[in-house]
């Protein structure tokens, strides 16, 4: 599938790769410079592959309290909140942002690879509620504009008041209705814009002229990894619960969400493994799947994401490790294709300004 920005990516000579059924740009000029543009100035990402689901009706809040792990009642109109969707065993089906657009109208932004699964899941559990669950992914092109200067550039080019962090606002962009969300996946300030696909390319061009650097999924991955945001499919899976993924903060078991008994049990008893960030001490770049080794060379975990971290200028990643070894400062080794690389468990985030 092609996003509304596809022709623009071709025109810019982006390197396109298949991702969850979409042809997405992994980079335009280079991951490192795109990464740095977001850390120091402003970059933009086509994230139209992400899905949108609208949940509307008198039963919307009660339904979302069932399927989302966070306390949805805490979201005011115009607010945003991060949640997991858990299965009955407490495993993570997806991690999503919920935006409250009206008193009984919400928008859920899903991961591309999970959109179809989420729709089916939400549809199945909505039957007993007075609520409509609609796939509205085709309605939007999604552009994330991120970086310390992102808001200033957007304010001057689009001439709109931008919502604060974790808020959402309806505005016209390119004279068409749009939703501007004060969220992102880079650790920098900025917004994610849901705009009309018809105006996607003109808006992209306008922002580019204003100095916003086009960035691919490659930089998106290194940016999120440096600030330890989990990626579903890597850190989060239906076999892992939010407690071991260190997402206990977005689970409010008292709301009685699906899987909450299992999550409560994991929280009370502790988990055998914990997700922990780490950095390599010296040479070597960890990759997903690399074994984590303890002091006697025994396997004590596995790397879920690894990369060269451009802002840290060293190899870094996240791994599930035995809970007693998950404390920051713990020395471990990472088996990088047969070479044992000394590493140290770190605290979140790996990068901060």
Partner 1 sequence: MAEAGYPDDLRYHDQHDWVRIEGGTATFGITWYAQDTLGEVVFFEPPEVGTTLTKDSAYAEVESVKAVSDVIAPMSGEVTEVNDALADSPERINEDPYGEGWLVKVTLSHPEEAEALLSAAEYQKLLDR
Which residues bind to partner 1, rule: CB under 8 A?
26-27, 30-32, 218, 221-222, 283-285, 287, 307-308, 310, 315, 337, 339
How far apart, in Å, do the first and last CA atoms of the chain sit? Answer: 37
- The nearest distance, CB 323 to partner 1, in angstroms, is 30
- The nearest distance, CB 175 to partner 1, in angstroms, is 38
Nearer to partner 1, 305 or 330 (CB): 305
Tokens 């100095």 sit on residue = 211
Q: What contacts 249, CB < 8 A, 6 or more positions away?
A: none
Rounded to whole angstroms, the Cα distance separating 307 from 23 reads 22
- The nearest distance, CB 21 to partner 1, in angstroms, is 20
Report which of 170, 146, 149 is spatially closest to residue 160, judged by C-alpha positions: 170
Nearer to partner 1, 31 or 178 (CB): 31
Nearer to partner 1, 33 or 104 (CB): 33
Rounded to whole angstroms, the Cα distance separating 48 from 77 reads 24
Relative to beta strand 273-280, strand 339-345 is: antiparallel
What is the phi/psi pair of residue 72, to 5°? -65, -25
Nearer to partner 1, 29 or 54 (CB): 29
Nearer to partner 1, 221 or 246 (CB): 221
Nearer to partner 1, 4 or 218 (CB): 218
Q: How many CB atoms lie within 10 A of CB 101?
A: 18
Nearer to partner 1, 205 or 339 (CB): 339
Find residue 54's DSSP bridge partners.
Answer: 107, 134
Q: SS3 letters for 238-306?
A: CCCCCCCCCCHHHCCHHHCCCCHHHHHHHHHHCCCEEEEEEEECCCCCCCCCCEEECCCCCEEEEEEEE
- The nearest distance, CB 31 to partner 1, in angstroms, is 4
Report which of 260, 198, 226 is spatially closest to residue 348, judged by C-alpha positions: 226
- The nearest distance, CB 242 to partner 1, in angstroms, is 28
């Amino acid at each position: 599938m092609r996003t509304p920005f596809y022709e623009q990516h071709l025109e810019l000579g982006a390197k396109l790769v298949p991702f969850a059924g979409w042809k997405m740009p992994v980079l335009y000029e280079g991951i490192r410079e795109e990464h740095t543009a977001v850390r120091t100035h402003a970059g933009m990402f086509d994230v139209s592959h992400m899905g949108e689901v609208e949940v509307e009706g008198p039963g919307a809040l009660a339904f979302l309290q069932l399927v989302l792990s966070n306390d949805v009642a805490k979201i005011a109109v115009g607010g945003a909140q991060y949640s997991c969707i858990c299965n009955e065993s407490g495993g993570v089906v997806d991690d999503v942002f919920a935006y409250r657009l009206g008193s009984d109208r919400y928008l859920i932004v899903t991961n591309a690879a999970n959109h179809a699964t989420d729709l089916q899941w939400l549809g199945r559990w909505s039957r007993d509620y007075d609520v409509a669950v609609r796939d509205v992914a085709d309605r939007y092109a999604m552009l994330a504009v991120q970086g310390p200067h992102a808001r200033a550039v957007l304010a001057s080019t689009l001439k709109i008041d931008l919502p604060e962090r974790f808020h959402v606002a309806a505005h016209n962009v390119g004279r068409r209705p749009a939703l501007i969300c004060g969220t992102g996946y880079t650790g920098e300030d900025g917004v994610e814009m849901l705009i009309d696909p018809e105006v996607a390319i003109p808006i992209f061009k306008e922002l580019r002229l204003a100095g916003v650097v086009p960035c691919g999924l490659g930089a998106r991955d290194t940016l999120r990894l440096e600030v330890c945001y989990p990626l579903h499919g890597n850190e989060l899976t239906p076999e892992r619960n939010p407690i071991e993924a260190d997402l206990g903060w977005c689970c409010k078991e008292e709301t009685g969400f699906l899987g909450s008994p299992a999550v409560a049990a994991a929280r009370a008893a502790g988990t055998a493994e914990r997700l922990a960030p780490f950095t390599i001490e010296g040479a070597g770049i960890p990759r997903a799947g690399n074994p984590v080794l303890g002091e006697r060379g025994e396997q004590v975990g596995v790397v879920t994401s690894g990369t060269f971290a451009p802002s840290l200028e060293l190899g870094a990643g996240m791994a599930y490790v035995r809970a007693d070894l998950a404390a920051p400062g713990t020395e471990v080794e990472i088996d990088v294709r047969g070479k044992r690389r000394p590493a140290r468990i770190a605290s979140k985030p790996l990068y901060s300004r």
